[in-house]
C-alpha cells in the first residue's frame, strides 16, 4: 500500500467540512485519484474535488487533509499525470482563502511548505515542462527563493 492510499484510509473523512456532498464522498474521490490509471481518469475527478474542498477561491476544512493526500501522492513517486494534477490541486488550494476560518489558508501553506524540498526535487526531475512549471508555481507560493533556485536548476534538463 502506498502513502496516498494509507492516508486516505486513516483520515476521518466524516469529520471534515466540505462545501457540498459529504466527507465520505470526498474520500471516494481521493481514493479514485490515488488509483487513477490515466490522465483522462484523473482529470475527470477535478469537479469532484473543486466545489468540495475548495471553490471560487474559497477554502473549506477538507482542504487541509486534501493537501496532505496530494503531498503523499507526490511522495509516492507517482506517475507524471498524478504529479501534474496533484500540483494543480495544491495550486488552487493555495490561491484560495476562508472567510469563516482565517487560519485555514495558513495551515495549508504550512503543510505545503513542509514538503517544499519534495516539490523542488520533483520539479528538477519532471518529465514534462508543464509538470515542472506547475510544481514550481506551487513552490513560488510557499518559498519564492527556492522556486527561483529550482527553476534555475531545472532549466538545462527540459
> What is the distance between the alpha carbons of residues 50 and 27, in angstroms, rounded to a whole number?
14
Residue 96 C-alpha cell reads as 484560495
Domain boundaries defined on the chain: 3-154
Instruction: Give the H/E segment covering residue 121.
Output: helix 116-124
Summarised one tens digit per residue, pLDDT across range 9-59 is 999 999 999 998 899 999 999 999 999 999 999 999 998 899 899 988 999
CA-to-CA distance for 100 and 150, rounded, in angstroms? 35
Dump pLDDT digits (tens) for 82-137. Answer: 999 999 999 999 999 998 998 999 999 999 999 999 999 999 999 999 999 999 99
Cβ distance 66 to 53 under 8 Å?
yes
With 0-12 CB in 10 A as exposed, 13-18 as middle and 19+ as buried, what is 120? buried
Amino acid at each position: 500500500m502506498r502513502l496516498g492510499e494509507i492516508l486516505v484510509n486513516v483520515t476521518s473523512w466524516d469529520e471534515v467540512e466540505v462545501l457540498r456532498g459529504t466527507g465520505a464522498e470526498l474520500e471516494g474521490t481521493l481514493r479514485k485519484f490515488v488509483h487513477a490509471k490515466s490522465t483522462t481518469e484523473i482529470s475527470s475527478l477535478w469537479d469532484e474535488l473543486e466545489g468540495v474542498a475548495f471553490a471560487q477561491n474559497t477554502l473549506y476544512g477538507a482542504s487541509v487533509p486534501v493537501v496532505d493526500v496530494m503531498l503523499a501522492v507526490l511522495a509516492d513517486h507517482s506517475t507524471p499525470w498524478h504529479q501534474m494534477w496533484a500540483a494543480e490541486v495544491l495550486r488552487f488550494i493555495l490561491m484560495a482563502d476562508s472567510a469563516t476560518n482565517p487560519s485555514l489558508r495558513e495551515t495549508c501553506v504550512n503543510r505545503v511548505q513542509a514538503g517544499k524540498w519534495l516539490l523542488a526535487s520533483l520539479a528538477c526531475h519532471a518529465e514534462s515542462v508543464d509538470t515542472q512549471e506547475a510544481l514550481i508555481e506551487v513552490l513560488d507560493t510557499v518559498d519564492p527563493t527556492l522556486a527561483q533556485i529550482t527553476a534555475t536548476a531545472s532549466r538545462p534538463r527540459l
